Structure 1
Amino acid sequence: MSKYAIEQFVEQTKQQDRGQGLFEIETQRILEINLENQIWAKMGSMISYRGNIKFEREGILEHGLGKLFKKALTGEGAALMKATGKGKLYVADQGKKISILNLNNESISVNGNDLLAFEPSISWDIKLMRKVAGLMAGGLFNVRLEGTGMVAFTSHYEPLTLLVEPDNPVYTDPNATVAWSGNLQPDFVTYISLKTLFGRASGESVQMKFTGKGFVVVQPFEEVYYSQIQG
């Protein structure tokens, strides 16, 4: 009976090749990367690997002085590691659910703490939203990714995608906003009545407003992901 139970467990949970390509959802919360050359992943996200893979923290000047300055401001939320070699790499982030997008000369913005991995063919830049620096104890930041290739990001529980139409803007809680299409530029609105009701530091008093045509991804969880710059 004991042997059967172990065999059953192994059979139900063992790794499987699904033939999905470079990025493969091994489980809803574990990403398998079929590495052939190089990939960028969130620092500390590796949970296992097989093969000949070398891991390096991104170099201080790897992406130029501009990004170095921005990363110094935003802290460790967007810290990356470079995985190089050939093998199978497994990455995860605090048990969060993983979503994959295959960009085709497109762009997307992802909150810094929610970015899990992306191909080196994707260009990226850190965007600081300093408009809310005085409202939320630091400016929110996101990573804009564009080009052609795969991007993996995470969310607490199942994400919900809301469509934005020109005559129908979408408002979101900044701490529950995961990603949005690259053609959208969020603005921030505050409500004095909510400040009075919840207190000045409340996230509900600050909302992101998306106008235009595109989509916004939110999660059923309020995550404090903004930077630690004061004022």
Structure 2
Amino acid sequence: MFPIAISAFRWIGWLAYLTGALLIVTNTVADFGPGGEGIFIGQRGAIGEQPVWLLCLYVHVASGVVCLIASLPQLSRMVLRGFPKLHRWSGRIYAATMLILVCPSGMYLALHAKGGVLGKAGFLLLGAATFHTTLRGVTSMIGGSRDLAAHRGWMTRSFAFAASAITFRILHLVFFQLGLAEETNYVTSLWLSVLGNAAVAELVLRRRSRSSAISSPIPSVS
């Protein structure tokens, strides 16, 4: 029963991520696409009129959508086993887009984020953590000393931080329904999503490590 529960939980998590990613893509197109409502920019006041900020915003939004889509094949063992080339290429797209576009633009936007010092610090931490874990995931597979276990570990952490965009929106909506003040809601949702996703990633990696240790054969003593 326990393996079945784990499998069901994995499928639920995958579907939740897929649903959240699709919702973000839909809302992004509705707000930033041609003829979009432009609500987010309108709420930013004077900063929303600065060319550098606008450029970083559009780069961050567009590249973030690419990363969310590219990460989906990475979460499927079926794709990994049956379509390894798709896994590799989607991973390369994810990593390159994250390192070159998403994180740099996001860290600039973080300097002007809502929520005061805590809001800015939260997004800066998220950007730095995502960049670091993604870079470590890439470098662990470069050269002759490829470390598949390290690669999986670092990319799991990277995906967890990327998924905080989904967790943040879910928590923000929940706290809004509970009547939490907007500024408190914003900062609380941000930090809970970043730290909570990081904790979940570590729990997943720890469980995976224990499972590998149990399944590994015990060396004979001569």
TM-score (norm. length: structure 2): 0.26
**Bigger relative contact order, structure 1 or 2, given CA contacts below 8 A and separation 6+?**
1
In proportion to residue count, which structure has more strand? 1
TM-score by structure 1 length?
0.26
